[in-house]
Amino acid sequence: MTSWVEIKESALIKNLRSFRRLIGDRVSIMAVVKANAYGHGLERTAKVLEDKVGWFGVNNLAEGLELRQAGIKKPVLILGYVPLASLNEAVGNNLSLTVYNRETVRALGKITSPSKIHLKIETGTGRQGILPQELGEFLDLVKRSSQIKVEGLSSHFADLEEVGEQSYASYQLERFQHASAAAAIKLGYPPFRHMACSAAALLFSPSLMDMLRLGIGMYGLWPSESVRVEVARICPEFKLQPALTWKTRIAQLKNLPVGFPVGYGGTFVTKRLTRLAVLPIGYYDGYDRGLSNCGQVLVKGQRAPVIGRVCMNMTMVDVTEVGQVQLEDEVVLLGRQGSQEISAEEMATKMGTINYEVVSRINPLLPRFTRV
């Protein structure tokens, strides 16, 4: 094993409980485990959380089937698109579907088994969704098939991660509430409503209706730096604990003389006698090429800089300042070692992206382990 991911169960549970205290007992929680549980490992994460949440949210049919095959019995909502030819398999495995296309409704109408759907309302994010003015006609189509049950209504906020004026979020929420009221009249019952994400739970409590879709915050990561700063100001007792640590081992050690080029293109040239460590990890594994010559890793509790370009399967670091380094010593790429920590936010800043991408792009083939 040359690289692996460790997930701290207690951190996942602690973060979940922090949100539960924040939102109260009335609101159900959906653990969003799409994208391999944001890189944390779909099956392992779901098993840790199954008896602590009401729902699971996945992106596609394959993820939903993986949960069912792992023995997960809780309701599972597919948040993304399911091809028409795969609808029968989704229904047969008791997976709820997010629906916004008439073609999907017509295809479900031809399946004799009951299907459960959540209609996605387009309130202003410009992605999936039914325009509110088209909802009545859409519901008429749904009601023609008695085996289709409208289980819920959903929508998604466009800009809550950017703290500031909440007028657009309020506009989106108002559109959703109007659509929900109209749908309840049309259906003759109030469907399950959910729009809130981690940022909404932290900063926009009016959006907490029947369920919170808890994603990034559950993993101990902040939706954005501005959200973290604002929460620290208004609710300093609220804390999150990152659950993921990504590790590798030193695959080679050698001394390089002054003036020796390192890596493709020779973008780094040694200016001193340099103790070089080669790590068997690269951009194939999810360690981004953008960390070339600017990233850092932890070796024996000390920071060691990445030198040269990150390769497909190898990364080089300077361990000259780290004493007593040996072959196969453990290296932390992301997470804590001793008193030092490499955070997803730090890596994201250097890569020019967001923490969501840092963790979700860790290669799903790398082994995941849970620990207490």
* 34 a catalytic residue: yes
* 264 a catalytic residue: yes
**Which residue among 110, 239, 264, 284 is the active-site one?**
264
Burial class (CB in 10 A: 0-12, 13-18, 19+), 118: buried
Per-residue exposure over 47-68, b if at least 16 CB sit within 10 Å of its own CB, e if not: bbbbeebebbbbbbbebbbbbe
Return the bridge partners of 256, or none: 274
Distances (CA, A) of 208 to 27, 59, 178, 213: 7, 22, 15, 10
**Which residue among 8, 34, 116, 247 is the active-site one?**
34
Counting every residue written for the chain, the total comes to 372
Helices (H), the chain: 9-23, 34-38, 42-49, 61-69, 87-92, 102-109, 135-143, 167-187, 198-203, 225-234, 344-351, 355-360
Q: How far apart are CA 121 and CA 154, in angstroms?
A: 6
Distance of CA 218 to the CA centre of its chain: 9
151 is written with which tokens? 């289980």
Q: Which residues are catalytic?
A: 34, 264
